[in-house]
């Protein structure tokens, strides 16, 4: 065996061990609060403002009177910090009268031309060129790209409303809008088209129900002066076009900015930009769904404004639009100095320490020897250390005794026994009757032997997924005996070996990921040729 081969095996299994260790309390875990430690203060004073800049991601091009753009302006400060000042600046448009900008930085074009948008705050200013085209034309509204996202944003097509299998009060939509052709038929043609009134669009049920001008079980979902209502009325007035096969499709979305260190009680305006198949870009901030995974750290409203609370940590804002997903990360440093840190012994330690420095979170002290041997033995060997092992470890004064303990535990039979039991459970290796016991034990022994020999992870996975022959001669075949359906084989493979959950995509597009039914059944097709005799 070459040194590179050995290193690869060690690295692979270090990663596997770290995954298991991450499920329990590591030595760097946060201990109970020390009353001597200062309370969180957040970011230090930001200092004097030294400049302004637009967060634009290029020169915006707005096409049509219905186009919009969320502007984001960032202030730079003498401390090196950068903070959102979108709602603090004064706006200027040149030529005057060619666009209207709200106090929140939401831009609405009024006339064609090459514009210059200037943001001023005190003695600082920043300029952004913007091109506006075709505002005098009545551009057709795309049902797929513009109308369906409104239903998703308002919650009309969720599983608790019209998106459930039998709909709500006789009206059904596809779940989360992933079947726009069906949605168009339900809305325009079902029940003789009673939901649409082209002669007077504002009196259509599609408009009067969500604005609560007519009784609506879901309450008021749409403001009468909203851009969404205006778009729906314009679509009905145009004759409810579906669109054509040549219409561009969304390829990805981007959040501007995608990460920011923020103070306590701070604010950050987000802009969501959609990149389309024809190379165009459109602002979809007011059509996307924005949700915070840590509302106690940071919340986000329907305009894309993130507001932080007085707690340190890291929050992610998930942005969804037509099956595409993007993230904004808000970092709220505690404000404490991270000076002395434990020694970094592997890539996991390095990643943890670097993140703690960014967040201003001092790690808890390194645990004592008796705690370390107990944790390490339970995590790696799956048992408590013996009294003799504890006494010998505590009596050892060498500097590398912890490293040697980990190496000894990984090399011990207990390590193979412990992780073979874990993987055996994950791979559904269980006895159903007396006949199965032989194959069950053989598969368990195969896993244990692979772990004991430090077989690389990719070779273990390959051994399971490509197993063929009799289960007695080829123990990994037992997995196919327990998981006999191609769909379940695919789902288990994705979750166990790729870290992805694809089960939702069997019936509909995954609500929080980019996986579609096409991805699900395309992946499943790899397993359809597997047969059992």
Structural domain boundaries in the chain = 49-133, 146-238, 250-332, 369-411, 414-526
Q: Long-range contacts for 425-430 (Cβ within 8 Å, ≥24 apart)?
A: 426/496, 427/464, 427/479, 427/482, 427/492, 427/496, 428/479, 428/482, 428/483, 428/492, 429/478, 429/479, 429/482, 430/482
Residue 296 DSSP one-character state:
T
Give the tens place of pLDDT for each residue, 281-296.
Answer: 999 999 999 999 999 9
- Residue 25 pLDDT > 60, yes or no? no
What per-residue confidence (pLDDT) applies to 17? 43
Separation of alpha carbons 170 and 95, rounded Å:
51
- Residues 502-507, mean pLDDT to the nearest whole number: 84
- Average pLDDT of the residues in 168-186: 86
Give the strand pairing for 49-54 and 124-133.
unpaired
The domain defined by 49-133 folds into: Immunoglobulin-like (2.60.40)
Mean pLDDT of 505-520: 77
Which one is predicted more confidently, 29 or 67? 67
State mean pLDDT over 489-496.
Answer: 93
Q: Which residue has the tokens 């100095």?
A: 337
Looking at the predicted structure, is the pLDDT value of residue 137 above 60?
Answer: yes
Interval 223-240: pLDDT, tens: 888 888 999 999 999 999
Domains 49-133 and 250-332 share a fold: yes
- Token pair belonging to 226: 């909203």
SS3 content of the chain, % helix, strand, coil (to 5): 35, 20, 45
Give the number of other Cβ atoms within 10 Å of residue 420's Cβ: 22
Instruction: Assess whether pLDDT exceeds 80 at residue 423.
Output: yes
Integer Cα distance of 235 and 240 in angstroms: 5
pLDDT number for residue 466 = 92
Q: What is the pLDDT of residue 26?
A: 36
* Measured distance CA(52)–CA(47) in Å, rounded: 14
What's the chain's average pLDDT?
87
∠ CA 446-452-453, nearest 5°, is 90
Buried b (16+ CB within 10 A) or exposed e, 441-469: ebbbebbbebbbeebbbeebeebbbebee
Most confident of 112-116, 181-185, 482-486, 514-518: 112-116
Task: Work out the pLDDT band at 39, boundaries 50, 70, 90.
Answer: low
pLDDT of residue 21: 41
* In this structure, CATH architecture of domain 250-332: Sandwich (2.60)
């Amino acid at each position: 065996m070459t040194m590179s081969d050995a290193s690869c095996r060690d690295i692979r299994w270090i990663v596997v061990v770290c995954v298991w260790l991450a499920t329990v309390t590591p030595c760097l875990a946060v201990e109970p609060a020390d009353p001597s430690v200062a309370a969180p203060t957040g970011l230090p004073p930001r200092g004097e403002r030294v400049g302004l800049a637009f967060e634009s991601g290029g020169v915006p091009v707005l096409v049509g009177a219905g186009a919009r753009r969320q502007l984001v302006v960032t202030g730079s400060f003498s401390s090196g910090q950068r903070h959102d000042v979108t709602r603090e600046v004064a706006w200027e448009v040149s030529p005057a009268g060619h666009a209207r900008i709200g106090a929140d930085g939401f831009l609405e074009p009024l006339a064609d031309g090459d514009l210059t948008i200037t943001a001023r705050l005190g003695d600082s200013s920043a300029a952004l060129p913007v091109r506006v085209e075709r505002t005098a034309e009545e551009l057709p509204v795309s049902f797929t790209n513009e109308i369906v996202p409104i239903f998703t944003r308002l919650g009309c097509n969720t599983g608790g409303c019209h998106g459930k299998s039998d709909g709500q009060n006789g009206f059904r939509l596809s779940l989360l809008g992933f079947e726009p052709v069906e949605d168009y038929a339900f809305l325009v043609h079902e029940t003789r088209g009673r939901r649409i009134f082209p002669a007077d669009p504002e009196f259509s049920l599609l408009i009067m129900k969500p604005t609560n001008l007519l009784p609506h079980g879901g309450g008021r979902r749409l403001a009468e002066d909203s851009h969404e209502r205006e778009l729906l009325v314009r679509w009905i007035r145009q004759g409810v076009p579906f669109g054509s096969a040549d219409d561009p499709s969304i390829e990805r979305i981007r959040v501007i900015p995608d990460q920011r260190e923020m103070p306590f009680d701070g604010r950050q305006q987000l802009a969501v930009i959609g990149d389309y198949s024809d190379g165009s870009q459109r602002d979809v901030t007011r059509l996307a769904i924005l949700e915070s995974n840590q509302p106690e750290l940071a919340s986000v409203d329907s305009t894309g404004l993130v507001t932080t609370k007085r707690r340190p940590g890291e929050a992610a804002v998930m942005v969804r639009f037509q099956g595409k997903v993007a993230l904004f990360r808000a970092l709220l440093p505690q404000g404490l100095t991270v000076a002395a840190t434990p020694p970094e012994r592997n890539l996991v330690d390095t990643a943890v320490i670097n993140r703690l420095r960014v967040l201003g979170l001092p790690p808890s002290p390194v645990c004592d020897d008796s705690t370390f041997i107990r944790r390490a033995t339970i995590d790696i060997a799956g048992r408590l250390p013996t009294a003799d092992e504890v006494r010998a470890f505590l009596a050892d004064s060498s500097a590398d005794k912890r490293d040697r303990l980990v190496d000894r535990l990984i090399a011990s039979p207990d390590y193979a026994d412990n992780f073979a039991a874990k993987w055996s459970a994950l791979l559904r290796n269980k006895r159903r009757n007396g006949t199965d016991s032989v194959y069950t034990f053989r598969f368990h022994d195969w896993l244990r032997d692979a772990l004991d020999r430090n077989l690389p992870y990719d070779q273990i996975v390959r051994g399971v997924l490509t197993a063929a022959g009799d289960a007695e001669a080829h123990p990994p075949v037992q997995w196919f005996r327990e998981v006999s359906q191609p769909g379940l084989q695919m789902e288990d493979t994705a979750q166990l070996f790729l870290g992805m959950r694809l089960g939702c995509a069997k019936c509909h597009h995954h609500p929080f990921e980019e996986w579609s039914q096409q991805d699900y059944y395309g992946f499943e097709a790899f397993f359809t040729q597997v047969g059992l005799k």
